[in-house]
Chains A and B, each alone.
Chain A
């Protein structure tokens, strides 16, 4: 399985500001994913990030609001731009496993964001 870390683990931000969340995987992976989990809700996929190409965004999510970088095969960042209280959520990074576990997604611990 992949071991995934995220920074920061939590943050409190003012509306109108931006926050960049970092995600580090302990092995090289092709695909990384960013999810949002709003309070008391399930996970919603924001985008899929492949190294060397533009991220693919799901319906309802746009690059201007959630720009993503994927500079190499072990790292990605998600920025939440021009934040509002509605952006208060847990943001989770995930990646696929390797070999026999390629169909499985493994998750980081999440970043808990509160926007005031």
Chain B
């Protein structure tokens, strides 16, 4: 079975500050890990993914995430927040063999001027 825990339902940062959104996973098979972003009134957009290649993954909009097997974590970071980053962020875990994606509960990122 697979599961994802996102710590913090809301994260608030100032514009220009570091963004850190936490994700821990549990998986009985080598995981594929994903971060998606959902802007208001829109669907989910893929930010980045880990599929057993490089452990540091770079995505769109300046985001990156590092896969740490020893910590079962896949935290999302961005060095400098922008107002346009305000959105809901979902971490998800999947696996090989067409396993379904399991989503975390989401973290709402608030960016203040």
Contacts and interface: CB of A to CB of B under 8 A. Distances in A.
Interface in A62-116: 92, 94, 96, 103-110, 112
Interface in A1-48: 1, 4, 31, 33, 41-43, 45, 48
A51 B34 CA distance: 26
A4 B100 CA distance: 18
Interface residues of B, number: 21
B46 A1 contact: yes
Contact of A42 (B34, B46, B106): B106
Closest 6 CB pairs of A and B: A107-B44, A109-B43, A107-B43, A43-B103, A110-B43, A42-B105
Contacts of A43: 44, 90, 103
Contacts of A4: 43
Nearest to A90: B43
B49 A104 contact: yes
Contacts of A48: 100
Nearest to A103: B32
Interface in B13-51: 32, 34, 36, 41-46, 49, 51
B90 A42 contact: yes
Contact of B100 (A33, A42, A108): A33
B46 A104 contact: yes
Contacts of A31: 98
Given A42-B90, A42-B103, A112-B41, A106 B46 contact: yes
A1 B49 CA distance: 13
Nearest to A56: B100
